[in-house]
């Protein structure tokens, strides 16, 4: 299996060498993705039943006991990303917390999403006071994070909700400080975690404090 190429916009980013770096995911970290997607599938006559840490396997036709097939789920997923991410609410405290970190660190948004989602996703970030460089990728995030972290001699922190992305970063960039955060309270009990490998903070005030401590930042 070939490696997923690094996102091309990653190479165009300017990463100051005199500041720490914070790399942050979007869905279920900065944005309440599941709640927004739930509203969207509801407009299509479907319903979300959150009983596992999954996406398409939580979408059902009313009255049916079997979730929709992957093809149906993927079409809805792509349509949501292309046209409707403005329905997603920002996670409480996220914008203020990142603004505080950004006073003393470089912040980069690294999200996996369809390429067509770039304009809408960039607009969502700006509209929610998250005006940071956006990198859209695909696949495990270890190599993109390693490439970003290599641009500064100062420490890097990485935040994601998915265990496989955190494990990927541990493999490719073991010196990066890794933090798991799951915003939707309904998903939290089902989210696979590894607290022995990655610290977990599900609220942004706690998360920002832990990142600041790891990067030796003093928040105002």
According to the model, what pLDDT value does residue 85 have?
A: 65
DSSP tag of 154: S
- At residue 117, the pLDDT reads 84
Domain boundaries, the chain: 9-32+89-215, 34-87
Query: Which residues make beta-bridge pairs with 21?
Result: 106, 156
Residue showing tokens 């792509």: 78
pTM (two decimals): 0.94
Beta carbons within 8 Å of 119's beta carbon, 6+ residues apart: none
Tell me yes or no: is domain 9-32+89-215 CATH 1.10.3720.10: no
Burial (CB count within 10 angstroms: exposed 0-12, middle 13-18, buried 19+), residue 126 = exposed
Query: How high is the pLDDT of residue 65?
Result: 92
- Give whole-number Cα distances, 35 to 8, 38, 116, 210, in Å: 30, 5, 21, 26
CA–CA–CA angle 22, 24, 28 (5° rounding): 150
Residues of the chain with pLDDT under 50: 1
Dig out the tokens for 152 from the structure. 């500064």
Neighbours of 1 (CB within 10 A): 3
Q: Which residues contact 218 (CB under 8 A, 6 or more apart)?
A: 104, 212
Element (H, E) at 70: helix 70-83
């Amino acid at each position: 299996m070939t490696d997923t190429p690094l996102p091309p916009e990653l190479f165009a980013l300017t990463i100051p060498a005199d500041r720490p770096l914070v790399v942050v995911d979007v869905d279920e970290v900065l944005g309440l993705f599941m709640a927004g997607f739930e509203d969207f599938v509801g407009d299509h006559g479907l319903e979300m039943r959150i009983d596992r840490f999954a996406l398409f396997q939580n979408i059902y036709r009313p009255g049916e006991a079997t979730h929709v097939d992957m093809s149906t789920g993927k079409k809805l997923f792509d349509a949501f990303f292309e046209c409707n991410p403005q329905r997603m609410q920002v996670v409480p405290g996220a914008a203020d917390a990142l603004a505080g970190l950004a006073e003393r660190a470089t912040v980069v948004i690294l999200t996996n999403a369809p390429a067509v989602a770039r304009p809408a996703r960039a607009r969502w970030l700006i509209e929610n006071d998250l005006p940071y460089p956006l990198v859209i990728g695909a696949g495990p995030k270890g190599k993109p994070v390693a490439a970003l972290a290599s641009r500064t001699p100062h420490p890097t922190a990485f935040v994601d909700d998915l265990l496989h992305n955190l494990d990927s970063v541990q493999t490719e960039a073991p010196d990066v400080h890794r933090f798991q955060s799951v915003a939707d309270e309904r998903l939290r009990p089902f989210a696979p975690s590894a607290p022995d490998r990655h610290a977990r903070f599900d609220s942004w005030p706690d998360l920002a404090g832990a990142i600041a401590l790891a990067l030796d930042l003093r928040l105002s």
